[in-house]
Amino acid sequence: MKTSELIKLLKKNGCFFVEHGKEHDKWYSTKTGRDIRIPRHGSKEIPSGTANRILKDAGLK
């Protein structure tokens, strides 16, 4: 999964952007009440373990 695809999925499910970090962006999940750190990899694929953890933290898995 690419970063752009992951962000679209998070937005669709009620997550919103909070702030930019040095190498990661901070998002917030309204479902779980958790902050989520998303790496900025441009058009590269996010490793599957990282993507699964982000989805779990967002309450989508």
Q: Going from the N-terminus, what domains does the chain have, and what CATH number goes with each? A: 3-58 (3.30.920.30)
What pLDDT does 49 receive?
95
Q: How far apart are CA 15 and CA 3, in angstroms?
A: 14
pLDDT in tens, 1-60: 899 999 999 999 999 999 999 999 999 999 999 999 999 877 889 999 999 999 999 999
Cα 7 to Cα 23, 31, 50, distances in angstroms: 15, 15, 13
> What's the token pair of residue 39?
């790496």
What pLDDT does 28 receive?
98
How far does CA 32 lie from the centroid of its chain?
13
Record the pTM: 0.86
What pLDDT does 47 receive?
93
What pLDDT does 44 receive?
87
